[in-house]
Amino acid sequence: MQPFTAKTCTLPVERILFRRWLGKVKYNKRMNENQGGIAINREDNWFQLDTAANLYPAIVSYRQVSIFRLCCTLTETIDPEILQSALYLTLQRHPSFNVRLKRGAFWNYFENNTNVAKVTEETGSPCQLIELKQNDDFLFRVTWFRNRINLEIFHALSDGGGGLEFLKTLVYYYLNLQGKCISTDGMIRTLETKADSEEIENSFFRYYNPAVNKPQPPEEKALHIQGKALPMNHLRIVQGIIPVDQALALARSEQASLTEYLTAVLFKSFFAALPADTDPTAMVKISIPVNLRNHFPSRTMRNFSFYVYTGIRFQDRELPLDQLIQQVQSQLREMARPENLQPRINPDVSYTQNAAMRIVPLEAKNKLIKQVHRLVGEDLFTCSLSNLGAVQLPESMLPFISQFDFTLSSSERIPTNCSMCSYQNTLVITFVSNIEERTVERTFFRILAEQGLEIKIDSNEN
């Protein structure tokens, strides 16, 4: 591939906005007064949280941060001043991120944030609680380290799908303002096209169908691993970097998807981490986020995902890997069918639509949400495995980017989580943990290495 020449390729509307930034124009104008932007609400400049987001403000704490992290590693060292300008342009295009969280009498809501979102150099451990006052009330933060751009998001604001769209826009504008000659090819949401109402909609409402009412069996509680806690505000990150073609070939050799194959390996890893005298009838359960956009078309930047659980009892820990894959495959494919997802989504929407619940004061709602989450939330799964999928970018941007990765946070009850995404021929599998024990990670990558995969291991403890 021929190298791209460094020349100015910014669009007229971006030049205008960039000059405004350099001229230190105040960033408190209504979004619909800016070229290329839209107001969140043209009259009141506010909007409600989406259906899934209502959970997170009620449960957030230092031990339950509900943060996820998306990273893009470039081929050149980051220029923080250009990154700051790119963030300004990105927020013009994505007004649903330019908000602060407010407490109403009955519900939390978002309103336009008139502060300036600032980029900072990364200095601490990933996925730490976002202190709103210290973060100018923004529900995300952008940091940089060497040649890596980090985007961390409080889950009330968006999910991995929406967050990835935001990061792609940010990286596009960063490269654009550097003078790289790049184009969107219709794959990046930029100021060439205005944000529309679908991008800030609550898609749970759109696909809510009260006529679909299928009783769901109660979920069985899951086993949990324990260990010696790492110091406060520190998470261990262990990443396995694997060629995508090798990983896909291995999964296909078992007639399985990559997620199905790796979920089975993850079961083996947790079985190895549990005591030998564990109740044989107890179950390891892995939570798999499903991007509902793949089943119910939507362009929303907000939360639109749902969790399904796959479980295997401890007494089956000695089953060969291929048999575990078959069990995982059977469970996941059945639960992820749209006709089975719909009745599981409906109760969450019904809760917010219920006339009696709508007039319950917010403080009482939050207490109820906390209680329900404590009783049935994290008790229902041992670990999450979240596959963001393949990151697709315009061909003109590819020479300037080397890697994407995706990291979940952990909690007191769920000390270890796993996530992954791929870019070009690079798959990055990330483990995050707040305990000293490394049995899960070591077993996981050892099994993959024994299957012949070439794995490069990286960690923030190197």
CATH number at residue 167: 3.30.559.10
Would you call 56 exposed, middle or buried from its count of C-beta atoms within 10 A (0-12, 13-18, 19+)?
Answer: buried
Q: Are residues 307 and 448 located together in one domain of the fold?
A: yes
Quote the longest CA-to-CA distance of the chain. Answer: 67
Convert the pLDDT of each residue in 124-154 to its tens digit.
999 999 999 999 999 999 999 999 999 999 9
227 within some domain: no
> What mean pLDDT comes out for the span 2-26?
44
Number of H-type helices and E-type strands within the chain: 12, 15
- Identify which of 409, 408, 404, 407 has the alpha carbon closest to the alpha carbon of residue 390: 404
Label the pairing between strands 108-112 and 426-433: unpaired
pLDDT of residue 347: 82
Query: Is there a domain that residue 350 lies in?
Result: yes
Confirm whether 154 is domain-assigned: yes
Phi-psi group of 140: left, alpha or beta (phi > 0 → left; psi -120 to 50 → alpha; rest → beta): beta
Asked which of 157, 187, 206 is the last residue of a domain, the reply is: 206
What is the per-residue pLDDT for 14? 54
- The verdict on 171 and 123 lying in the same domain is yes
pLDDT digits (tens, 9 = 90+) for 26-68: 333 333 333 333 334 434 578 899 999 999 999 999 989 999 9
Paired tokens of 305: 């995902």
List pLDDT tens digits, range 382-399. Answer: 999 999 999 999 999 999
Statement to judge: residues 69 and 113 lie in one domain: yes
Query: Looking at the structure, do residues 123 and 21 belong to the same domain, yes or no?
Result: yes
Among the three residues 186, 206, 226, which one is the final residue of a domain in this structure? 206
- Name the DSSP class of 411: B
Residues 291, 181 share a domain: no
Phi–psi pair at 272, nearest 5 degrees: -70, -25
Q: Does any domain span residue 7?
A: no
**What is the predicted pLDDT for the residue at 43?**
44
Q: Is 291 helix (H, G, I), strand (E, B) or coil?
A: strand
| Whether residue 120 is found in the same domain as residue 242 | no
373 inside domain? yes
**Is residue 341 scored above 60 in pLDDT?**
yes
- Domain of 452: which CATH number? 3.30.559.30
**Displacement of CA 265 from its chain's centroid (Å):** 22
Domain range for residue 343?
236-394+410-459
Q: How confident is the model at residue 217 (pLDDT cuts 50, 70, 90)?
A: confident
113 and 156 in a single domain? The answer is yes
79-124 per-position pLDDT tens digit: 999 999 999 999 999 999 999 999 999 999 999 999 999 999 999 9
Q: Which of the residue ranges 233-237, 263-267, 321-325, 365-369 would you say has the lowest mean pLDDT?
A: 365-369
Residue with tokens 């980017």: 401
Say yes or no to pLDDT of 75 above 90: yes
Give the span between the Cα atoms of 442 and 431, in whole angstroms. Answer: 10
Question: Is residue 213 a part of any domain in this protein?
Answer: no
Q: Report the alpha-carbon distance of residue 37 to residue 362 in Å, rounded.
A: 32
CA distance 172 to 152: 18
Residue 162: both structure tokens together: 């929406």
Return the pLDDT at 7.
Answer: 38
Q: Residue 184 region, left (φ>0) first, then alpha (ψ -120 to 50), else beta?
A: alpha
Cα–Cα nearest to 404, from 144, 125, 149, 141:
149
On whether both 331 and 441 belong to a single domain, the answer is: yes
Alpha-carbon distance of 360 to 170, in angstroms, equals 39
Indicate whether 247 and 365 sit together in one domain: yes
- In this model, does residue 243 exceed pLDDT 90? yes
b/e for 440-458, b at 16 or more Cβ within 10 A? bbbbbbebbeeeebebeee
| Residue 454 within a domain | yes
Residues 134 and 250 in one domain: no
Cβ 94 vs Cβ 301: under 8 Å? yes
Mean of pLDDT over the chain:
90
Three-state DSSP class for 263? Answer: helix
Q: How many domains does the chain have?
A: 2
Residue 83 lies inside a defined structural domain of this protein = yes
Q: Are residues 302 and 435 in the same domain?
A: yes
Q: How far is CA 102 from CA 99, 173, 237, 446, in A?
A: 9, 30, 33, 47
Place 17 in a pLDDT band, splitting at 50, 70 and 90: low
Asked if 329 contacts 256 with a C-beta cutoff of 8 angstroms, the reply is yes
Environment class of 17 (CB within 10 Å of its CB; exposed 0-12, middle 13-18, buried 19+)? buried
Specify whether 81 is located in the same domain as 130: yes
Bridge partners for 260 per DSSP: none
In the structure encoding, which two tokens stand for residue 99, read together? 């908000």
Between CA 92 and CA 86 the distance in angstroms is: 10
Rounded Cα distance, 337 and 422, in Å: 24
Nearest to 5 by CA among 182, 184, 188, 190: 182
